[in-house]
């Protein structure tokens, strides 16, 4: 295989094969660079989406905590209002 690319006395066929190999490598490199840019763009978009989801999670968790606290207060107030011992003491 090394004799195919003997540079000590380049032959037109060897030069043509080298040129074709270089062109192929350049195309592969361009494809790789495009794929790398696309992957980097997708990663950036995914990171942005993750940050948005994390912010939404914080907001929802905070609102759920507030709602649970309100429900506990309401249930506590209803339990006091519904306490039958209050009715007996008032009678």
The per-residue pLDDT string of the chain (91 residues; one tens digit each, 9 = 90 and over) reads 455 666 676 688 888 999 999 999 999 999 999 999 999 999 999 999 999 999 999 999 999 999 999 999 999 999 888 777 755 555 5
- The two structure tokens encoding residue 77: 């107030």
How do residues 5-19 score in pLDDT, each as one tens digit?
A: 666 766 888 889 999
Asked if 45 contacts 54 with a C-beta cutoff of 8 angstroms, the reply is: no
Residue 74 lies in a domain: yes
Whether 6 is covered by a domain: the verdict is no
Write down the H helix ranges in 1-91.
Answer: 12-81, 84-90
Instruction: Confirm whether 70 is domain-assigned.
Output: yes
CA 43 to chain centre: 6
- Work out how many domains the chain is built from and give that number: 1
Q: Which domain holds residue 32?
A: 12-82
Residue 82 phi, psi dihedral angles, 5° rounding: -90, 5
| C-alpha pair distances (Å), 82 with each of 59, 71, 77, 87, 88 | 34, 16, 9, 9, 12
């Amino acid at each position: 295989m090394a004799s195919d690319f003997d540079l000590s006395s380049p032959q037109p066929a060897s030069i043509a094969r080298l040129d074709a190999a270089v062109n192929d490598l350049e195309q592969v490199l361009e494809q790789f660079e495009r794929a790398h840019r696309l992957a980097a763009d997708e990663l950036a978009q995914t990171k942005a989406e993750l940050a948005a989801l994390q912010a939404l999670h914080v907001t929802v968790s905070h609102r759920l905590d507030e709602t649970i606290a309100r429900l506990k207060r309401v249930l506590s107030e209803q339990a006091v209002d519904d306490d039958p011992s209050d009715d007996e003491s008032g009678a």
